[in-house]
Amino acid sequence: MEGKVLVRKTKDGRICNWEVEQDDTLCTLQEAFLKVEPSLGFNIELKFDDHIVYEQAYLIHVLQTILKVVMDYAKDRPVIFSTFQPDAAILVRKLQRTYPVFFLTNGGSEFYEDLRRNSLEEALKLCLENGLEGIVSEVKGIFRNPGAVSKIKESNLSLLTYGKLNNVPEAVYMQHLMGIDGVIVDFVQEITEAVADMMKPSKIGEEEELSEGIGKVEGKSKPQFSQLELSFLYKLIPQLLLL
């Protein structure tokens, strides 16, 4: 019986077959800990088949095998665990308290038999009931349900996002305004630089802010967006219409 074909993603986003003879073998988790710069953190995603109902004993066996490598070789490296599998998330939290555990969710973009996977509200409930540190949501789920952001933040959970839309600088900037803690992107340097440029206030904007602020008492008000920020919103709308 033949196994599944391995694939890899190139820098330009293309998906290609992973040819071991040409592209080298996949490294083990232990090798990654030993060979990757120690200052770089690891997000260890615990992957399981979406369509299999796993026995708890099997999950525990798999997780304990992974945890042994992490405990032996992680040392001072920052590490977090994340998974779409609700029971795996619960178990890895019970099996160790050293590293944060995040629950991955599509945020309602796709639906599964396990209801815990089908919304940000269910993800929030799972985290609170089982002591998880946060949620990693598909970014479309956040833009479709922005009200969930405040509920998650008020619950003292971290909120990260992933998805193709995170390669659009305006989308990442909007998440910054919404209070998202972090984003997972394909092009780290490019997105970082683009968003940093967006966050730089113009000299005119700074002068207006200073002059308007003199002698005024600060109070709660609706968020005020500059023309620059509004232009980001307008650029983002066509992307959101494709969701």
Write out pLDDT tens, residues 59-80.
999 999 999 999 999 999 999 9
User: What is the distance between the alpha carbons of residues 116 and 120, in angstroms, rounded to a whole number?
Assistant: 9
**Domains located in the chain, CATH noted:** 36-202 (3.20.20.190)
Q: What is the 3-state secondary structure (H, E, C) of the chain?
A: CCCCCCEEECCCCCEEECCHHHHCCCCCHHHHHHHCCCCCCEEEECCCCCCCCCCHHHHHHHHHHHHHHHHHHCCCCCEEEEECCHHHHHHHHHHCCCCCEEEEECCCCCCCCCHHHCCHHHHHHHHHHHCCCEEEEEHHHHHHCCHHHHHHHHCCCEEEEECHHHHCHHHHHHHHHHCCCEECCCCHHHHHHHHHHHHCCCHHHHHHHHHHHCCCCCCCCCCCCCHHHHHHHHHHHHHHHCC
pLDDT of amino acid 19: 75
pLDDT of amino acid 118: 95
pLDDT in tens, the chain (243 residues): 456 777 877 778 788 887 766 666 678 999 999 999 999 999 999 999 998 999 999 999 999 999 999 999 999 999 999 999 999 999 999 999 999 999 999 998 889 999 999 999 999 999 999 999 999 999 999 988 888 999 999 999 999 999 999 998 888 988 888 889 999 998 889 988 888 887 776 544 444 443 344 333 333 333 445 666 656 665 665 555 455
Cα dihedral 14→17→22→26 (10° resolution): 100
Nearest to residue 155, comparing CAs of 189, 126, 116?
126
User: What is the distance between the alpha carbons of residues 103 and 106, in angstroms, rounded to a whole number?
Assistant: 10
First-to-last C-alpha distance (Å) of the chain? 39
pLDDT of amino acid 222: 38
pLDDT of amino acid 168: 87
pLDDT of amino acid 217: 34
Write out pLDDT tens, residues 64-122.
999 999 999 999 999 999 999 999 999 999 999 999 999 999 998 889 999 999 999 99
pLDDT of amino acid 235: 62
